[in-house]
Structure 1
Amino acid sequence: MILLWIILGVMTLTAALILAWPLFDSRRFKNDSSFALAVYRDQLAEINHDAARGILDETQARAAQIEIERRILALADAPKFQPAKAPAPLLIIAMAVVLPLGAFGLYLHLGSPGLPGQPAQGLADSVAASPELQALQAAVEKAPTDPAAWRDLGEGLMVARRPNDAANAFARALGLGDRDPKLQSRYGSALVLASQGRVEDKARAAFAAALAADPTDPIARFFTGLAKEQGGDPTGALTDWLALERDLPADVPWHADLTQNIDRVARGLGKDPATLPGRAPAANATPQAGGAPSPSDLDAAAKMSDSERQAFIESMVGQLAERLKAAPDDLDGWLRLAKAYSVLGKHDEARAAWAKAAALAPTRLDVQLEYANALIEGSSDLSKTLPPNFAETVTKIRTLAPDNPLGLYYGGLVARSQGDKQAAKDMWLKVLALIPEGSAQRASLQREIDSLGP
């Protein structure tokens, strides 16, 4: 064994001396412009290849090409040769002899050369998942404009614990037109995992988009609260999480994690978690684990079947509706309930919830606009009759924002129903000027204007 270590040591020393020998040469060396030029040419070819496959759009490809071409032109100004500075002999000796021998001696003293090697866990996981990922990558290459293929690839990368790559795949699916709010939530979750638990701007935007389409999305609601806490608003985070805890079924895998986060933030604010307003006694049980939902929890929530997800949403909406009976002045609660009913297609219930919200916020333009829209939702012929309370709501809108385009359109509806065709035409012409030429909306509004006569 000793002989083996001596032989290995001699081989290491010989290799080090061979590698260090060129350092003694102090002649003028040629710069690396040729090598850099070859690299830049390869990059240009790769950009053209990605553009042809649809991975880069035309704008992105052109921007990358311009940057590389600028670097190629910069090479022309570089000197052809650069003088090499001869290094100190003592430095070369230290690099070639002392450091290898010192490292070798330190390993013999502190290391355990007799132990068998252990494979890196991350590499083992990557290799184990590689056949599936290769199949998913092949599907993407076969159909680079299919958002479903990119979404499947993202899910496979999440399973392989590669959230950064998964986020890129989800972003591509969204860019290709996938409008499923669950995908926005999934994209945001991947971004959070990739940034080691930080909710950055892109993730916040993804969760906001998910909540705009589905206000009951529990993952988006949790991380929106986490973003508030990380942004210095623990009170806002606590408010969001308490509302989520009340709506969240107890059997959700990460319910205990949510409870622990609430307890932690409450104590940080000097509050007793057990006495927080509206908190159920069961919510104060000691959790088994801490932190944000784990990747497996996110997977479980994201992979619900349609029927399971529908039941989950119905349960959350029902709990929210019950809670609002005891807290009728909770504006945010009514807004969430109204949006949830809209997502579920329950227009009558949504209309009633918007009415409550509009009564609580008479000066909020966004709430009044949503209520007006809810009032006419599902109406078959607005040219004949308008629903009750619509004209009154439009008057509030026009008072708050006389030039709001949607308010102008609604005002035209009211004026036409009252027989004032000229007023309706005047308002609708203002709206028409804001709609792009050739759009379907412009053509539809033009027909309504024409129907009013000369």
Structure 2
Amino acid sequence: MGWVVFGAFALLVIALLLLIRFPRRLWTLPAMAIMLAGAGYAWQGQPGLPDHPVEGVASVRPLDPDLIAVREGLFGRFNFDYSYFMAADAMTRAGAPQLAATVMLGAVRKAPGDPGLWAGLGLAMAEHDGDQLSPAARYAFDKAVELNPSHPGPPFYHGIALARSGDLEGARREWGKALQLTPKDASYRNDMVAVMLKLDPGLAEAARQAPAAAPAR
């Protein structure tokens, strides 16, 4: 029964890739991810055992359209980065954050000098680790900043990961950097703020109180 479920999952992934029109020249990447998942299941799982009810099925986080809009504004559409981000989105929709992280890991191996892909890898790794920032995720964010310190994408993504982990103070610090690096007339700036407010509803009140807290001169 386990292999039947795995086969259904593989077919679902293929259907999603067709739906998003994922470039066929890059199909080897998700195929490799599925093969690795199958190998891991055969090694660590017990596919020969009969199925039985289990509890504690992890919920799937819906993709935020505002976050996707920001990502496209920061890193572009219909380019090399876009293809990998869309593939990772497909894995996330399928409830497989580990495969989403695998996709982004393959992306940085193909383009190790791309800060957007490193930032995406950091966020994917954090999601895979239950919204906790592992040393690997932190390294990915640091690498993204190192590659392009003036790009607002890495601190923005780092802030998202920090907010999801519960570190709102750290998130606000990173988001402040991102907004400073973002042109005031950028089309995606309002979407960035929308994402921030969803993750940190108290941010607006804190911003309103900040000028009032400053000492009068």
Larger gyration radius, structure 1 or structure 2: 1
TM-score range, shorter chain: 0.3 to 0.5
* TM-score between both structures, scaled by the size of structure 1: 0.26
TM-score normalised by the chain length of structure 2: 0.48
